[in-house]
Homo-oligomer: A and B are copies of this chain.
Amino acid sequence: MNYVLPKGFLASGIHCGIKRFKKDLALLYSKSGCKAIGLFTRSKVKAAPLVVSKEILRKGAPIRAVIINSGNANCCTGWYGVRDAKRMIYSVCKSLGLRFNNVLVSSTGIIGKRLPIELIEENVPKLARLLSEKRLVSAAKAILTTDKKMKIAVEKIDIGRREVTITGIAKGAGMIEPNMGTMLAFIMTDARMDKDAIKSTLKDACDDSFNAITIDGDMSTNDTMLILANGAAGNVPIKKGTKELKLFLSALKKVSFKLARDIVEDGEGATKFVTVYVEKARTVRDAYKIARSVANSCLVKTSIHGENPNWGRVAASVGASGVNGIKQNKFEIYLDGICVFKGGKFTMPSRDKFYKIYKRKNVEIAVNLNVGTKQARIWTCDLSKRYVEINARYT
């Protein structure tokens, strides 16, 4: 896969000194104004850059740039926080000749420490100078924290004989929970679109991807997902309810799926990639609730880590979900495709089959409730000693 930016977008990423050695400051830039929409954490404790960016998005001016730092979340930093987030924006404005309302800001990293704002301000001119069509990878690296790998996804489609590109970068490895754990995702496209049309894609693109992953059940203060569309592809504007929008949405979903999957695969200390399916539920809400209960169970996650097909813990976490109407004698559990629980009891698969469960890197847990027609899917990872190690020390 070629890591390319959509037409009209530039990017850069540098080390400015918030972290000791790694890149920690990124800039995304569009030559023309973008229509932009954002999704932010639902946590009641929100980081300063989220407050500032939401306010700017509300004003509706075209967005030209996003500045992002890693290593410091600029959260729980009092009135300094908002001022520092704004200073990040002003320094971009100065270097690029933009107005305040054209620039968004985002941060990720440790909570509660003041941002070294002078360091950032000193380095923004350099960051702006380095902007290039070829520095997507630098930007993707500069937004990472405990991630082991960078996360980039690119899709190309044709809309009315014009090539449209969708490029996304993301970060996130701990504190990942539905409703966006410390996760940042920035999706850029050169598609020309109505704002309504972009808006309509957001829920679909997130629901089965970013909102359907969990690593440790901890919701973060900084989660942000942005879509920026600058229209540089020159296609006839994509409108709501058209087949062009459908085409765009399916490509957008591929990008967000890939990024969400990358995030879970890179989960702190993860050794397994776990998909939890809940099927034949009464409502989608019930299905998600049960899938999350299974996916967030420390006991299920540790048993997967130990390659120990302790299906009783899956059954217990289904029961513990609090969902009404679960019938103990009616639901079935499949681990890696092998039925282990049916009719209220262990099905005793052959020894051979049973000992294959949880052995591969990709693990599948399916719960069939047999009380309805709705379903849900959650991606998660196992819980390892390494997770504890990383998080006992991190500061």
Q: What residues make up the interface of A, taking CB atoms closer than 8 Å to B? A: 42-46, 73, 75-81, 110-113, 174-175, 177, 216-221, 296-299, 302-303, 305-306, 308, 310-313, 315-324, 326, 328-329, 341, 343-346, 383-385, 387-389, 391-395
Residues from chain B with a CB closer than 8 A to the CB of A394 are 303, 308, 310
Whether B320 and A73, one on each chain, are in contact in the complex, defined by CB atoms closer than 8 angstroms, is no
Whether B44 and A328, one on each chain, are in contact in the complex, defined by CB atoms closer than 8 angstroms, is yes
Q: Nearest 4 A-B pairs (CB), nearest first?
A: A111-B312, A45-B319, A306-B392, A78-B345
Closest chain B CB from A266 CB (angstroms): 17
Instruction: Report the nearest B residue to A346, measured CB to CB.
Output: B112
Closest chain B CB from A330 CB (angstroms): 11
Instruction: Report the nearest B residue to A323, measured CB to CB.
Output: B44
Whether A388 and B392, one on each chain, are in contact in the complex, defined by CB atoms closer than 8 angstroms, is no
Residues from chain B with a CB closer than 8 A to the CB of A220 are 316, 320
Whether B112 and A174, one on each chain, are in contact in the complex, defined by CB atoms closer than 8 angstroms, is no
Whether B218 and A316, one on each chain, are in contact in the complex, defined by CB atoms closer than 8 angstroms, is yes
- In-complex Cβ contact of A296 among B217, B311, B341 (8 A): B217
Beyond A76-B341, A79-B344, A298-B391, 16 extra complex contacts between A and B, CB < 8 Å: A43-B316, A44-B318, A45-B316, A45-B318, A73-B312, A75-B316, A76-B312, A111-B312, A112-B315, A217-B298, A218-B298, A305-B388, A308-B394, A383-B388, A385-B385, A385-B389
Q: A298-B391, A299-B174, A306-B393 are in contact. Are A46 and B319 (CB under 8 A)?
A: yes
- In-complex Cβ contact of A216 among B219, B298, B322, B341 (8 A): B298
- In-complex Cβ contact of A345 among B112, B305, B345, B384 (8 A): B112
Residues from chain B with a CB closer than 8 A to the CB of A389 are 385
- In-complex Cβ contact of A391 among B110, B306, B317, B387 (8 A): B306
- A217 vs B177: C-alpha distance when bound (angstroms): 15
Residues from chain B with a CB closer than 8 A to the CB of A299 are 174-175, 216, 218, 391
Residues from chain B with a CB closer than 8 A to the CB of A43 are 316, 319-320
Instruction: Report the nearest B residue to A73, measured CB to CB.
Output: B312
Instruction: Report the nearest B residue to A51, measured CB to CB.
Output: B328
- A312 vs B81: C-alpha distance when bound (angstroms): 14
Closest chain B CB from A248 CB (angstroms): 33
Closest chain B CB from A139 CB (angstroms): 25
- A373 vs B321: C-alpha distance when bound (angstroms): 30
Whether B219 and A78, one on each chain, are in contact in the complex, defined by CB atoms closer than 8 angstroms, is no
Instruction: Report the nearest B residue to A310, measured CB to CB.
Output: B395
